[in-house]
Structure 1
Amino acid sequence: MKDFILLPYADLDAYQRFAYREMMVWCNKMDKSPGLWNSISSGIQKKINNIIPDKVHKAITSAVREIIKALMLGTKFISPAPRQLAHLKHIEDEVGRRIQSHKLTASAEGGLTGAGGFWWSLADFPLLLGIKIKLLQDIASFYGRDGKDPREKVFLLLVLQMAFSSDAVRRTTLEKIIHFEKQKHNIPQDISNIDWHTLQQQYRDYLDIAKLLQMVPLIGAVVGTIANYRLVNLLGRTAMQCYRIRYFQDYGYHHQGEST
Structure 2
Amino acid sequence: MNLEPREELEKELQIINKWEKEQKGLWFWDRIGRLPFKILDKVTPSFIQKRLGALLDEIGSYIQTGGKYLTKESAIIRKVEVHSPNLNITTIEDISRDVPLQVMDKVGQDIKKSGSHLATVQGASTGIGGVFTLAIDIPLLLGMSIKTLQDMAVAYGYNPRDKQERVFIVKCLQFTTSDVIGKKTLLKEMENMVLPGSESKREIASELQGWREVVYTYRDQFGWKKLLQMVPVAGIIFGAFTNRSMISDMADTGMMLYKKRRIIERMKEIGSTD
User: Shorter-normalised TM-score: what interval?
Assistant: 0.7 to 0.9
| Larger mean Cα displacement after TM superposition, 240-249 or 141-150 | 240-249
Instruction: Give yes or no for the alignment of 1:51 onto 2:39.
Output: yes
TM-score, normalised on structure 1?
0.82
1:12 alignment counterpart? 7
Question: Contact conserved, 2:127 with 2:239, CA < 8 A, in 1?
Answer: yes
Structure 2 residues without counterparts, runs of 5 or longer: 74-90
Q: 2:228 aligns with which of 213, 220, 230?
A: 213
Aligned-partner residue type, residue 122 of structure 1: A
The CA deviation at 1:60 is 6.0
Aligned partners of 2:67, 2:212: CA distance in 1, in Å? 22
| Larger mean Cα displacement after TM superposition, 224-233 or 65-74 | 65-74
Question: Contact conserved, 2:66 with 2:166, CA < 8 A, in 1?
Answer: no
Cα distance per residue 1:11-32 (max 9 Å; x no partner):
334xx56633320111223456
1:5 alignment counterpart? none
- CA 1:234–1:185 in 2, change beyond 3 Å: closer, same or farther? same
Question: Contact conserved, 1:31 with 1:174, CA < 8 A, in 2?
Answer: no
What SS does structure 2 have at the residue aligned with 1:12? helix
Aligned partners of 1:226, 1:205: CA distance in 2, in Å? 17
The CA deviation at 1:58 is 7.5
1:36-47 equivalent positions in 2, closer than 5 A: 41-42=30-31, 44-45=32-33, 47=35
Aligned partners of 2:158, 2:13: CA distance in 1, in Å? 19
Q: 1:241 aligns with which of 233, 256, 264?
A: 256
2:107 alignment counterpart? 94
Aligned-partner residue type, residue 73 of structure 1: T
Question: Contact conserved, 2:119 with 2:247, CA < 8 A, in 1?
Answer: yes
Query: What percent of counterpart residues are identical?
Result: 24
- CA 1:76–1:197 in 2, change beyond 3 Å: closer, same or farther? closer
- CA 1:193–1:154 in 2, change beyond 3 Å: closer, same or farther? closer
- CA 1:66–1:167 in 2, change beyond 3 Å: closer, same or farther? farther
TM-score, normalised on structure 2?
0.78
Aligned partners of 2:150, 2:251: CA distance in 1, in Å? 11
Question: Contact conserved, 1:57 with 1:204, CA < 8 A, in 2?
Answer: no
The CA deviation at 1:206 is 1.0
The CA deviation at 1:159 is 0.6
RMSD: 2.7
| Larger mean Cα displacement after TM superposition, 207-216 or 18-27 | 18-27
1:74 alignment counterpart? 66
Cα distance per residue 1:167-204 (max 9 Å; x no partner):
11111011111221256673334267532353233212
2:176 alignment counterpart? 163
Structure 1 residues without counterparts, runs of 5 or longer: 1-8
Aligned-partner residue type, residue 63 of structure 2: L
Instruction: Give yes or no for the alignment of 1:21 onto 2:9.
Output: no
2:161 alignment counterpart? 148
1:241-260 equivalent positions in 2, closer than 5 A: 241-259=256-274
The CA deviation at 1:240 is 1.1
- CA 1:57–1:243 in 2, change beyond 3 Å: closer, same or farther? farther
The CA deviation at 1:164 is 0.9
